[in-house]
Chains A and B, each alone.
Chain A
């Protein structure tokens, strides 16, 4: 397992460093800046969706959806970050416990 661990660690770091090391002229491009602003939004949204509604390659509707609903309500109520996260985990655990 060590080779896999080390290759994955090295590869992930190289990806991080490559992103930070793009030449100035690339970063000065207005379209690149716009894309750079939109990318985290798109990726985080996709992670929210897939980590809530997917299990492997299957689309699923399970207790995590209840957790996300609680998280969304907490966000709308401007609750602290920890309340959002703990609320989501708690709601998910509760639904699993009673179902």
Chain B
């Protein structure tokens, strides 16, 4: 239950169990969504092997959907790659928050970097306790990695069954998941304001910009708000 923030009196074993349970739930949910990714990639003309490599090596859902979406609707492969990279830049921005929390070096950093996605970042930052945040990152990253790739294989193999994931409403599953992840952080008024402005900017710019740009403009909102608050704090 992601929106649940444990109370101060909770012991570490209780917190640990709650984090692992949340991570498993997120993994299962994204696994179900990966079914539709596997199916859509097939329909867009990607082979089963290419589809599986995308989930294994790219491992960032929005970028993967963007790549197969652009190619599937007749766009150039280069346009699909550019869109995927634009969407992927937010993972670099997540690293700004994650690096001081995870404090990983060498091989561990190479592994941790691969697991930097929306879900693992949200779980790492959903709790104030640093130990719970680190556990949230690794547990969620690994759970999503396993389920995402299993879902991709099954979805790609069974593409004919899920040929139209829209009929199952799967295209609404991702925004719902993102909403559940961001909700616990909307209790602070300033954060909620940034969220609302970011969403408005993204929608307002959608008709005038290339795919992926609206989300990056939303990032600019966060940067502007962060700099402004920094100035005011002296």
| Closest Cβ neighbor of B117 among chain A residues | A16
| Alpha-carbon distance between A19 and B102 when the two chains are bound, in angstroms | 12
From B63, B96, B179, B203, A54 is in contact (CB under 8 Å) with: B203
From B207, B221, B227, A59 is in contact (CB under 8 Å) with: B207
Name B's interface SS: helix
Q: Is B121 among interface residues, defined by CB-CB distance under 8 A? A: yes
Q: Is B194 among interface residues, defined by CB-CB distance under 8 A? A: yes
Q: Is B13 among interface residues, defined by CB-CB distance under 8 A? A: no
Asked if A44 and B181 make an inter-chain contact with CB atoms under 8 angstroms apart, the answer reads: yes
Q: Is B107 among interface residues, defined by CB-CB distance under 8 A? A: no
Asked if B104 and A20 make an inter-chain contact with CB atoms under 8 angstroms apart, the answer reads: yes
Asked if B91 and A40 make an inter-chain contact with CB atoms under 8 angstroms apart, the answer reads: no
Asked if A47 and B95 make an inter-chain contact with CB atoms under 8 angstroms apart, the answer reads: no
Considering the complex, which residues of chain A in the window 64-98 have a beta carbon less than 8 Å from any beta carbon of chain B? 64, 67-68, 70-72, 74-75, 78-82, 84-94, 96-97
| Alpha-carbon distance between A42 and B97 when the two chains are bound, in angstroms | 13
From B78, B175, B200, B221, A68 is in contact (CB under 8 Å) with: B175
Interface residues of B (CB under 8 A from A): 1-4, 22, 25-26, 28-29, 32, 45-47, 50, 53-54, 57-60, 62-63, 67, 71, 73, 77-78, 80-81, 84-85, 88-100, 102, 104, 109-110, 112-114, 116, 118, 121-122, 125, 166-183, 185-186, 191, 194-203, 206-209, 211, 214-215, 217-219, 221-223, 225-227, 229-230, 233
- What are 9 A-B residue pairs whose CB atoms fall within 8 Å in the complex? A4-B78, A15-B85, A20-B116, A46-B215, A68-B172, A68-B175, A79-B1, A81-B1, A90-B169
